[in-house]
Structure 1
Amino acid sequence: MTTPPRAVIFGSGHSALTLATGLLEDGWRVDVFTRHPTAEILGNPAGLTQLTLPSVHATELALGLGLWQHTAPPAHEVRMRMVPPHGEEFDFTAPLPGPAVAIDHRLKSAYWLQHVAERGGRVHERACTSADVSGFASTRLHDLVVVAPGSDSDLRHLFAPDPDRSGGATDRVVVQAHLAVPEEWLPQRVEVLSCPWGEVMVYPVLTVDALSPFQVRSLSAIDAPPMHVTPYSAVCVQVMARPGTPLDPAFSPEEGGETGAGLPRRHGAHARSAWAHVLAQLARLAPDLAQECSEGVVIAGSELVREVHPQVRRPVTTIQGAPVVGIGDATMTVEHASGQGAGASTWVATTLRDQLRQHGPPFHADVLTGAWEAYWARHGQYTSAFGGFVTAYWSGALPERVLTGFAETVSTPEGAAAWSAGLDDPARMNHLLTL
């Protein structure tokens, strides 16, 4: 009887749990280490919400991860508004090639963890260090060691910086809030406003109220019943400010426009102050959009402000003689304003899984490197190029012919639809970025 291969995954984010689910389906034995128990995840303030575009949504459904298929509010089209510092703004609207959805990351992480456990995965609630990863690698008990934590985790330092590759992202200050609105006000499209100060994205989201400390303790008990919360539809507003511009909540004109010393607190009063700041600035850019946002009620715990500093690291390292692969934010930051965060996490996980199925154990460093390169060839390079286009659009770095070609292309229904299809899959957009 053949012993099934074993994997240990450090992290419980989008890429980690997508990979864990796929490996379990392939007959692997999977251990997942998560820093927070599921109840604690649901009691925490919100993290950064990710838009799940149609192709990624379809992949999640195929994996059995579309747990909110019938309850998440869909977006069926995208509207893009370009607001230059001088001259006329222009906009275009195009249908998406399928429904796009957004799920509060607390819901997704908690219920996907529960889903992994129900499928036979072993979930360990424990914060892990580099020494833990080293210990697991040294035992050789697992055929695959994966590091997939958040971008702030110290585990990212296991992987060396990669100066030869770019993820297309730049420094940002992100401000987010979920808004409660009457059902008839719920948008059915993704709205994106782009200007030299940054980007603003507005789209429907399935969110949840944070659990109280008492509820967290009750659901964390050994004999606790299965976890269940009631999500509801809301509006997600995200502002991706360029540092030092008026959209940056740390912007200080009195100090010559420099950003402040940092944003030490991501939630609470600090985040609410940041939200008030960007809402006031949004009124200068798009009064109609600012009015819609001001009429919604900010959902407690959904406010978030965080600095994003892009990083690109080599995806494979060797620890105690064993290869270790890093995926997700641990090794590459995707430009959030491109809407490709969820896609990058899904595609790297599914590509790695496909490559492992083709090769079979043992999985040496060259196999894991080749698997990551397969992701880069099919998805990563195009996601990076699109992110680079977004960040360079207002910088003056793009040739005038590219800017003119973009405006002319999206001015037609066919061109706008092609752009929308490229948003869903950046590989289909590559030719539009070099017109």
Structure 2
Amino acid sequence: MRRILVVGAGQSGLQLALGLQSKGYEVTLMSNRTADEIRTGRVMSTQCMFDSALRHERDLQLNFWEQQAPKIEGLGVSVAAPDGSRAIDWLGRLKGYAQSVDQRVKMAGWLDTFAQRGGQLVIHGASVADLDYFARTYDLVLVAAGKGELVSLFERDAARSPYDAPQRALAVSYVHGLGPRPEHPQTEAVRCNLVPGVGELFVMPTLTTSGRADILFWEGLPGGPLDVFQGVKDPGEHLAVTLELMEQYTPWEYARATNVELTDAGGTLAGRYAPVVRNPVGRLPGGGLVLGVADVVVANDPITGQGSNSAAKCAASYLSSILMHGDKPFDEAWMKATFDKFWFTTGKPVTQWTNAMLGVPPEHVLNLIGAAGQLQPVADRFANGFDHPADFDAYFYDPEDAADYLESVAGAAAVAAPGSGSDSASGSGSGSVVGDSSAE
């Protein structure tokens, strides 16, 4: 029986530990907090998991909250015009529903499950010195704790990390009482509101400790008008500032938020971090090796909502690599190959897309977003790219590819509905966005 240590009890660490446990491995899991401390603590993320990531949880029968969590069937994009209206507003339909479960609910539940199933749970904030010892007593040590001292074991990969500073200031509020979008009152959807030159507001349904809720999530350009949360410590003040910014920059979202209240005192979060890709193998002072997992080695900005999705896919990929390796030693070559498998299938496409969305979008990308308001297939494809980011490579990055794609969709729409020029039932707005769109 192979002995494996997993350090970190987030999406990737817990999913991997529970997966290995279900396959008969002797697994030790280290968490810096108990399940109760997680459950009663502060929110940790703005997770929205799409269908392919959710399938990994279903495969391991860990989808405990699937019947309770809102079923998110669409993803909408709105672009603010200078006069406070929406220059563009459309809703793409997801092929399979997405879901968001507050990580306080999920991680606490999974941690309890791991212990109930006989796993060895150690409540301890691991240090490099701890891992130096454990690396000699376990067949494999996996580091899935994306913050703190352990991250220093993994060197920044400069070739894959174009940014060395945070690209957005982040501010999150979990609320009850948000009304529906009047144009689609029956559809649960993630809403991406782009405010050119300022930042983005994301609104998503979720399941939290007190039931169904919504997440209000500002991403502001550093130093800009949204970058005002650093000194805000009081949760009530945090929500008030969030709503003031919504009233000013996204009045259509503010209109349905006039009666909201925080889900709990721990329902706010603010911070920032630099997107980074790190080398996957960490070398300990005593010569032992550890393998980084998920956002320990690939940490993208949340602008594309890929954190928990990538974590689930990384855990599934690593689990497959471990199972296929049998009883052979987990050496450096295996560690690098295991990471490369995840990188080329998931990490690289997500990083390329996220970094593109953080920069100033070129004209052809603005045209794509605008065309989605007139052509429903474009809106649907863009929305489903959140589930399969590799699809963007076919039409998103190259101007000629984008033009060819839009021409083919417009031609098909004209054939299907002669004289109409559009088959969109959900979109509105012009075919392009004009002006400074650095928020994209």
Q: Same fold (TM over 0.5)?
A: yes
AA partner of residue 190 (structure 1): V
- Distance, in Å, in 2 between the alignment partners of 1:35 and 1:154 is 13
Q: Give the Cα separation in 2 of the matches to 1:404 and 1:26.
A: 48
Find the partner of 2:4 among 7, 11, 23. 7
Q: Tell me which residue corresponds to 1:390.
A: 357
User: Does 2:335 align with 1:371?
Assistant: no
Counterpart in the other structure of 1:123: 121
The equivalent of 1:216 in structure 2 is none
- Give the 3-state SS of the residue equivalent to 2:272 in structure 1: strand
Alpha-carbon distance in structure 2 between the residues aligned to 1:177 and 1:353: 34
Contact in 1 for aligned 2:190/2:203 (Cα 8 Å):
yes
Q: Select 2:237's aligned residue among 273, 288, 295.
A: 273
Q: 1:246 aligns with which of 208, 211, 225?
A: 225
Look up the equivalent residue of 1:313 and give its one-letter code. R
**Matches of 1:422 and 1:411, distance apart in 2:** 18
Kindly indicate whether the alpha-carbon contact (under 8 Å) linking 2:154 and 2:280 is maintained by their aligned counterparts in 1.
yes
Which of the numbers 170, 174, 177 marks the counterpart of 1:174? 170
Q: 1:245 to 1:182 in 2, by over 3 A?
A: closer
1-structure distance, mates of 2:288, 2:309? 29
Distance 1:76 1:415 in 2: 16
Q: Which residue of 2 aligns with 1:134?
A: 132
Take 2:158 and 2:295, find their aligned partners in 1: how far apart are those partners? 16
Secondary structure of 1:15's match? helix
| Number of the residue aligned with 2:68 | 71
Q: Is the 8 A contact 1:247 1:277 kept in 2?
A: no
Q: CA deviation at 1:384?
A: 0.8
For the residue of structure 2 that corresponds to 1:351, the secondary structure is: helix
Return the offset for 1:85: 4.8
Secondary structure of the structure 2 residue equivalent to 1:235: strand
Deviation at 1:166, TM superposition (A): 3.0
Paired residues of 1:167 and 1:384 also in contact (CA < 8 A)? no
Alpha-carbon spacing, 1:347–1:298, altered in 2? closer, same or farther (3 Å): same
CA distance in structure 1 between the partners assigned to 2:275 and 2:288 by the alignment = 27
State the shift of 1:167 in Å.
8.1
Answering whether residue 274 of structure 2 is matched by residue 309 of structure 1, we say: yes
The one-letter amino acid paired with 1:317 is G
Could you tell me which amino acid in structure 1 is paired with residue 238 of structure 2?
A: A
Matched, 1:318 2:283: yes
Q: Kindly tell me: are residues 182 and 334 of structure 1, through their superposed partners in 2, closer, same or farther at Cα, counting changes over 3 Å? A: closer
Q: Secondary structure at the match of 1:238?
A: strand
Map 1:288-367 onto structure 2 (within 5 A).
288-300=252-264, 301-319=266-284, 320-360=286-326, 361-367=328-334
Q: TM-score, normalised by structure 1?
A: 0.84
Between stretches 355-364 and 236-245, larger displacement belongs to: 355-364
Q: Distance between the aligned counterparts of 1:405 and 1:46, measured in 2?
A: 34
Distance 2:289 2:88 in 1: 50
Tell which deviates more after alignment, 126-135 or 77-86.
77-86
Structure 1, residues 209-237: CA drift from partner, whole Å, max 9, x if none? xxxxxxxxxxxxxxxxxxxxxx4111111
Q: How many residues align?
A: 388
Question: Cα distance, 1:406 vs. partner?
Answer: 4.3
Equivalent residues in 2 for 1:38-57 (5 A)?
38-57=35-54
Structure 1 equivalent of residue 428 of structure 2: none
The equivalent of 1:237 in structure 2 is: 216
Partner of 1:227: none
Tell me which amino acid in the other structure corresponds to 1:391.
L
Check the 8 A contact 1:167/1:333 in 2, yes or no: no
Question: Is the CA contact 1:7–1:28 (under 8 Å) kept in the aligned structure 2?
Answer: yes
Equivalent of 2:143, from 147, 170, 194? 147
Mapped contact 1:389–1:433 kept (Cα < 8 A): no
Q: Any residues of structure 2 matched to 1:99-110 within 5 Å, and which?
A: 99-110=97-108
1:415: Cα distance to partner? 1.3
Aligned: 1:407 with 2:403: no
Gaps of 5+ in 2: 403-440
Matching residue of 2:94: 96
Aligned to 1:215: none
Instruction: Mark the runs of 5 or more structure 1 residues left unpaired by the alignment.
Output: 209-230, 251-262
Q: Give the distance between the partners of 1:96 and 1:349, measured in 2 at CA.
A: 24
2:160 match = 165
Is the CA contact (8 Å cut-off) linking 1:187 and 1:204 kept in structure 2?
A: no
In structure 2, the residue matched to 1:20 is 17
Q: 2-side partners of 1:247 and 1:109: how far apart?
A: 30
Q: 1:386 to 1:411 in 2, by over 3 A?
A: farther
CA distance in 2, matches of 1:88, 1:41: 39
Q: Distance in 2 between matches of 1:162 and 1:198?
A: 27
1:177 counterpart SS class: strand
Give the distance between the partners of 2:391 and 2:110, measured in 1 at CA. Answer: 30
1:10-44 Cα distance to aligned partner (Å, 9 max, x none): 11111101111221122211000011111111121
Structure 1 residue identity aligned to 2:206: V
Q: Match of 2:96, SS?
A: strand
CA contact (8 A) 1:167 1:312 kept: no
